[in-house]
A and B are shown apart, each in its own frame.
Chain A
């Protein structure tokens, strides 16, 4: 057969591989003598098939595995190496893979250098912690071996193993330490990672390591990069002058000959939270990167500069010329970054030009980057409100283009933000949204837009024009969208009485809908609108509180499962409402990573407090307060306290962390000196607190009847039994252990913690007037602050109100409302005046319960 034909055969051989045939061929491995050439070919085909994603059953994998082990008789180097590869590939699937341990051990200690490194890596993938003890000696030898490949293989394997058996690997650190300064770059890199990884939790020795290595020049650029990362981490954690040497080291790396290191250092400096530091050097390095002929370097430079725009727009603005050169870059990612960065830092006059540039290649870039562009435009909208016309039409254009849900959502978000922030842009923005829902394939997005139309539409000059768009949805769309459209229509009827007759007709038509939800809503809204009761309409259509859905579900479940009879109606007011977005999440202007969804504190802890027996009897959770440190940071035991407020109960969760690796704490509990009036119900101790694992102790207390008495302080002491243990294995020594205590700081229960507050809504004035008949408490206070604004802020903080509650200039007025933990509403108004160099405040609280109104005053006084 000619050479040419063979080639063709092989090629097609890889294309039509069949699992069954290969399994047959694998039997060939059993025949003697082993013909390496033939076996290499079969093994390659098996590996190829596995790499293509072919699934093997355990039996098939085991069969092939055992056939492969026969090939250990051959001394052919390539064949042996492929055998190792096959072993690694099959080890997760096949059974009894440890059968080859002795063969591999022989290879790793043998004379053939070409086997040793690969054998170590194969062995460490199949072995378990018990077998490891046996080869530990060989591993230590291998780490210090003179052959760099062997040494690297052992170090990298140690690194993989440290995820499962960290204590064992920690015993090899001495050997690893010795080779950090090895002549071979990779060995030094791997050794540094092993040593630093083993000391991850020990800040002091990391400091020593970094300080020492910063002075000795390392050969590997990778190792220097790693060292920069450790140094940057140390510098970030320690904001004092002590971190100066780290920053100096990183800065010195800006002059390294390797680009990798230079970029690593520049990136670290730009991202270090220390702000005032001189960025000039790093920025000029990044500028040079932007002019590189390599796209990767340009991207690296542009991306890092883009990140800087949030904190130091001026520093970036200096690079405008370099970025301008990139806006027509053939790599569209680079071009997008350049344009968005320029948009974020540039002047108003350049916007139109840049927007034109960007629209020329918008269709060529991936959704991720389109979202970056959308975000940049969104920020522009708030920065230059006057530009809203062109920006909104640009967004609307993008909305018409193809794109995934995430991209469309980002655009809709931007337009919604525009509508909410800029009164001038409201009408155009709403018109764009109306047009979009005419042809929107994403139900979730349509529902959201309908909600916005329902909220913002009635405030427009000509509300009736939106109703047509909304009602079209009722005719054309699926159930959920129709339901949302009905709600939106109802809001128009509620807010604009002149439209009510027409709306009533529309709602009446919807009552004949096929969908249950749509009919229900139509009937519900018709009934409320027909009642003509302004209060009713306001509370159930216009200003409806939205409870946090996760907590609502949990509360309803608890309600249904509780022993109490269900004659007592469920109180919706006890469920925390959706946390209003207090501030725009701070994001860098050009950020591509996705972020974790925001979870409210209550949701986070809900599962943890489930361990308390009888917790469901306390009713739904009212509020979870922010955790408070009860110990100094970096002490032996760290304790934080989280207060969970229920209608009549207080649950204190003590989150404890044991930072001593040679101790195991048992029977951990808290001795609490409760404030007078409080009744201790149960305590759930933490049975075991091993090193570096968080454990919680819970105390359940009943609030005193009288709200005023609830303000008080608790003394607390941590009590536990210490048992010494082996720091490497975590197993305790035999023996009883001894009892010990650890004093904690006091815990204070304040008034704000028992309220869920919000800033005044639009119709606050009316609500306040309506509450005129309720109990009122009023008092005048002299405040210590010398500035009205500061005083107002302090009062807000004290009452737990957001800063948005403050209004007025010379006379500051704070308006807010809230719900007391039982569900009793409270309204509060404070007026602050500057008089004779001191601030005087008049505070009035109205609530159906007088004692609660008084409590609010007492909290300030």
Chain B
């Protein structure tokens, strides 16, 4: 009962579809990257080597998809940012493509359509939350950019004083007073 033959070439019924997602800058350096399969590139060193290779193969040709080191990688770039989603080479490419679209669209909304490195770094916290909302341990969690952004971009403190309601201003003043008294 030892299995030696390869399993059939049908897609495996699994939810663990995404093997990794990353955003690189225009020198191929990692800005954010997550890998979800312990068996694929377990160390940071292997991951960075893979990213270098991936970047070299993709940054010139805008060809949407490439098969590399046993993975199917779909990608998209804008100004100085490169977005990648990786999956097994034995996976529905269009599903991976839809995840990439979700990632790109979510980030784009978060950055108010200014998809570039500087703006992304300014909003890194929100982008990290978006990563977390799109994929959980390799399982696609959500693909609706609006709902993802709704749960990732939650600026409460950023609202300038003039735009806060009176109640909000009072509330925060009260809080501050309380803490200063407690000190």
> Which A residues have a C-beta under 8 Å from some C-beta of B?
7, 10-11, 14, 32-33, 36-37, 40, 43-44, 47-48, 51-53, 76-78, 81-82, 85, 88, 114, 117-118, 121, 149, 152-153, 156-157, 159-160, 186, 189-190, 193, 196, 222, 225-226, 229-230, 232-233, 236, 259-260, 263-264, 267-268, 271-273, 294-297, 299-300, 303, 307, 330-333, 364, 366, 368-369, 588, 592-596, 598-599, 604-605, 627, 638, 640, 655, 657, 694
Contact = CB atoms under 8 A, between A and B. Distances in A.
Contacts of B126: 78
Contact of B129 (A82, A267, A303): A82
Contact of A307 (B9, B63, B124, B132): B9
Contacts of A11: 118, 121-122
A190 B138 CA distance: 13
A233 B57 contact: no
A611 B157 CA distance: 67
Given A307-B9, A604-B4, A159 B70 contact: no
- Most chain B CB atoms below 10 A, which of A36, A588, A593: A593
Contact of A149 (B11, B90, B142): B142
Given A14-B121, A33-B175, A236-B10, A296 B64 contact: yes
Contacts of B48: 53
A225 B11 CA distance: 10
B92 A260 contact: yes
Contacts of A190: 15, 139
A260 B98 contact: yes
5 contacts: A32-B182, A76-B157, A225-B92, A331-B64, A604-B2
B61 A330 contact: yes
Contacts of A118: 132, 151
Contacts of B124: 14, 44, 48
Contacts of B45: 53
Contacts of B12: 229
Nearest to B11: A229
Contact of A222 (B70, B95, B137, B154): B95
Contact of B122 (A7, A160, A264): A7
Contacts of B97: 294, 296
Interface string B34-46: 1000000000110
Contacts of B152: 81
B34 to A, nearest CB: 8
Interface string B1-26: 11010101111111100000000000
Contact of B1 (A186, A226, A273, A640): A640
Given A296-B93, A331-B64, A77 B154 contact: yes
B43 to A, nearest CB: 8
A593 B94 contact: no
B63 A331 contact: yes
Interface in B96-129: 96-98, 118, 121-122, 124-126, 128-129
A271 B92 CA distance: 13
A226 B96 CA distance: 14
A208 B147 CA distance: 34
Contact of B132 (A48, A85, A193, A366): A85
A232 B9 CA distance: 11
Interface string B147-174: 1000110111100000000000000000
A769 B137 CA distance: 69
A7 B30 CA distance: 20
Nearest to B147: A149
Contacts of A260: 92, 94-95, 98
Interface of B: 1-2, 4, 6, 8-15, 30, 32-34, 44-45, 47-48, 57, 61, 63-70, 74, 89-90, 92-98, 118, 121-122, 124-126, 128-129, 132, 136-137, 139-144, 147, 151-152, 154-157, 175-176, 179, 182-183
Given A33-B176, A159-B15, A368 B68 contact: yes
Given A14-B121, A156-B141, A368-B67, A78 B155 contact: yes
Contacts of B64: 294-296, 331
Contacts of A53: 44-45, 47-48
A694 B175 CA distance: 64
Nearest to A32: B179
A718 B56 CA distance: 61
Given A88-B132, A190-B139, 7 more contacts: A47-B128, A226-B13, A260-B98, A271-B8, A296-B97, A369-B67, A593-B89
Contact of B11 (A14, A88, A267, A598): A267
A423 to B, nearest CB: 33
A77 B152 CA distance: 10
Given A53-B48, A264-B11, A296 B94 contact: yes
B12 to A, nearest CB: 7
A33 B179 contact: yes
Given A271-B8, A296-B64, A186 B151 contact: no
A52 B30 contact: yes
A730 B169 CA distance: 59
Contacts of B69: 368
B174 to A, nearest CB: 12
A36 B158 CA distance: 10
B127 to A, nearest CB: 10
A156 B134 CA distance: 12
Contact of A259 (B89, B94, B137): B94
Contacts of A295: 63-65
Contacts of B44: 52-53
A77 B126 CA distance: 11
B27 to A, nearest CB: 12
Nearest to B47: A53
Contacts of B61: 330-332, 364
A225 B95 contact: yes
Contacts of A51: 30, 32-34
A76 B63 contact: no
Contacts of A657: 1
B144 to A, nearest CB: 8
Nearest to A80: B154
B94 A152 contact: no
B88 to A, nearest CB: 9
B65 A78 contact: no
A326 to B, nearest CB: 13
Nearest to A337: B67
A264 B151 contact: no
A121 B136 contact: yes
Nearest to A6: B122
B13 A271 contact: no
Contact of A366 (B66, B118, B157): B66
A11 B176 CA distance: 30
A85 B128 contact: yes
Contacts of A332: 61, 63
Q: Which 5 A-B pairs have the closest CB atoms?
A: A53-B44, A33-B179, A295-B64, A229-B13, A331-B63
A296 B4 contact: no
Nearest to B96: A296
B177 to A, nearest CB: 10
A273 B8 contact: yes
Nearest to B153: A78
A222 B122 CA distance: 33
B132 A272 contact: no
B10 A232 contact: yes
B37 to A, nearest CB: 13
B66 A263 contact: no
Nearest to B12: A229
Contacts of A186: 140-144
Contacts of A333: 63, 65-67
A10 B97 CA distance: 32
A385 B132 CA distance: 56
A694 B1 CA distance: 9
Contacts of B9: 271, 307, 588
B96 to A, nearest CB: 8
A267 B12 CA distance: 12
A152 B139 CA distance: 11
